[in-house]
Structure 1
Amino acid sequence: MPRPPVGRDTTLCMSLSGRPGNFGSRFHNHLYEAMGLDFLYKAFTTRDLSAAVGGVRALGIRGCAVSMPFKEACIPLLDGLAPSAAAIESVNTIVNDDGRLTGHNTDYAAIAPLLRRHGVAPGTPFVARGSGGMAKAVVSALRDEGFRHGTVVSRNEAAGRRLAEACGFRWQAEATGAPLLVNITPIGMQGGPEAEELSFPEALVAGAQAVFDVVLLPSETPLIRCARALGKTVITGMEVAVLQAVEQFRLYTGLSPSEAQIAAAAAYARS
């Protein structure tokens, strides 16, 4: 059944990001079309977060994905937090129920299934680079999945120490080797100032068993390319994006797409 023509009754969903991309718009709109839903998704950025979130409420926008650098800054503007967001004080999804805005974190929900899918055991020691909102989601998910031996590495010592201590891990300024390496920074991000850089030295990648890079674009970051060339297990940011976007879709629409529909939407979003 085709999606109805856009009209006054169309439900709008959106995203807010410092660097808007096309993945969310393409993924969600493909599913709306496939399932015949009168929904429309559009990506935005803003220099006035308070006004933007106020617009979500005032205009009846059903859902809003939240990316860097707004995941923590948006919290005081909301009416409440779901357990997934409250536990880590980071929001990547806002759901609007008749003017009441609730923050969720679907990034957090995506991490454990991905680790299990790739056979990364909870006892695996890890080093995670990053201390922002996405880092909170990933490191908290590692803790809650039973990982007990971890180190947080970050340029921002205060934020890194807070995250490490909150989750029961260590902080240090420079990365050392571990069986699992996790990049939760913009290093390697397409269009960024460090787009061609490795977030971990090649020698550390060579000594690892698995490498996880949350950067979405490109899906084959310098770190992922290096890890593949060395025969390591890899988990990409694209995989995270798909799982968390499916959960957003469920929150916005109340419906669950089929595995075939998810696969088709993901392939379209990557193209």
Structure 2
Amino acid sequence: MKPPIGPATRLCMSLAARPGNFGSRFHNHLYDALGLNYVYKAFTTDDLAGAITGIRALGIRGCAVSMPFKEAVIPMLDGLRDSAAAIDSVNTIVNTDGDLLGYNTDYSAVRDLIADLPRVPFLLRGSGGMGKAVATALVDAGFPDGTIVARNEAAGRTLAERLGCRWQAEATGAAPLLVNVTPLGMTGADQDALAFTPDQIAAAQIIIDAVAKPVETPLLRAAQAAGKTVVTGAQIATLQALEQFVLYTGVRPSDEQVAAAEAYALS
């Protein structure tokens, strides 16, 4: 049974421009299931530097980092681990006695989800922190002939050149693998937007949509209706949150406990 909240309770949190419920529900469900003396809370901020100072000063154990903070937070940390350094993007901060280290569990989640997919050319829309993680995971896994689509030419070209991909400003052309790593389809102003055209979807074999909320985006609905293989943002969110949970607590839940936490978080 989880202990009552008190001075020994450890706090974990998230920072995002548009905070959602998934992380809070996922982590807190597992704390309850495993009897861990932790609490998780989502936040947003207009003062990123102040928030990071607060994490350090208050001994907050871990912090998930989402748009638009994944790159801006890097200079405020004490070091980077794993793929975060290569990608230059952080989605997880672990605080050990005031020493803040950045990780990227988006990368590891995507790496695991694409492990059994056929290695085919890809067209990836997006060049932000999540775009970097997904594109790097694809290239590292041997997916050939990649194209990065980004209206921000500087960011798009930089990412494409680092990975040996092409860059283009608009999402034109066809590819066997289509990847959306933009807010298109996300709950809010862009929730009705389709990240790729019906013709592009029809010509593809595989669709990856990194948007986690809603669970079924317009792109995923169109891909599933066309019988395509899909990787969903909810799958990515669950795996990356699981790795964050392990980093924060040192405990790895069972598959059954993870499935129950995922179902609760998505309900």
1:134-192 CA deviation, whole Å, 9 max, x = no partner? 0000001111111121100011111111111111100112221100000000000001x
Q: Distance in 1 between matches of 2:263 and 2:71?
A: 30
SS of alignment partner, residue 211 of structure 1: strand
Match for residue 185 of structure 2?
Answer: 188
SS in 2 for 1:42: strand
Is contact 2:91-2:103 (8 Å) kept?
yes
> Is contact 2:17-2:67 (8 Å) kept?
yes
1:84-103 superposed matches below 5 A: 84-103=83-102
Select 1:179's aligned residue among 176, 199, 203. Answer: 176
Relative to the length of structure 2, the TM-score reads 0.98
CA deviation string 1:67-108 (max 9, x = no partner): 000000000000000022001000000000000000000000
Unaligned 5+ runs, structure 1: none
- Kindly provide the amino acid, as one letter, of the partner of residue 193 in structure 2: E
1:1-271 matches, cutoff 5 A: 2-116=1-115, 119-121=116-118, 123-175=119-171, 176-191=173-188, 193-271=189-267
Residue identity opposite 1:83 in structure 2: D
**CA deviation profile, 1:116-140 (whole Å, cap 9, x unmatched):** 2xx412x310000001000000001
Q: Within 1, Cα distance between the matches of 2:90 and 2:194?
A: 27
Cα deviations across residues 36-65 of structure 1 (Å, max 9, x unaligned)? 000000000000000000000000000000
3-state SS of paired residue (1:177): coil
Say which SS state the counterpart of residue 148 (structure 1) adopts.
coil
Q: Tell me, yes or no, if the aligned pair for 2:122 and 2:144 is still in contact at 8 Å.
A: no
Structure 2 distance, partners of 1:154, 1:91, is 20
CA drift at 1:35: 0.3
Letter in 2 for 1:130: G
- Tell me how far apart the structure 1 counterparts of residues 174 and 54 of structure 2 sit (CA, whole Å): 46
Q: Which runs of 5+ in 2 are unaligned?
A: none
Read off the aligned partner of 1:24 and give its amino acid letter. G
Rounded to whole Å, the distance in 1 between the matches of 2:252 and 2:190 is 37
Q: Give, in whole Å, the separation in 2 of the partners of 1:166 and 1:102.
A: 24
Give the 3-state SS of the residue equivalent to 2:207 in structure 1: strand
AA paired with 2:112? P
Counterparts of 2:206 and 2:140 in 1: how far apart (Å)?
19
**In the comparison of the two structures, how many residue pairs are matched?**
266
Matching residue's letter, 2:80:
L
Quote the offset at 1:198 in angstroms.
Answer: 0.3
Q: 2: CA distance between counterparts of 1:221 and 1:264?
A: 22
Quote the RMSD (CA, aligned, Å). 0.7
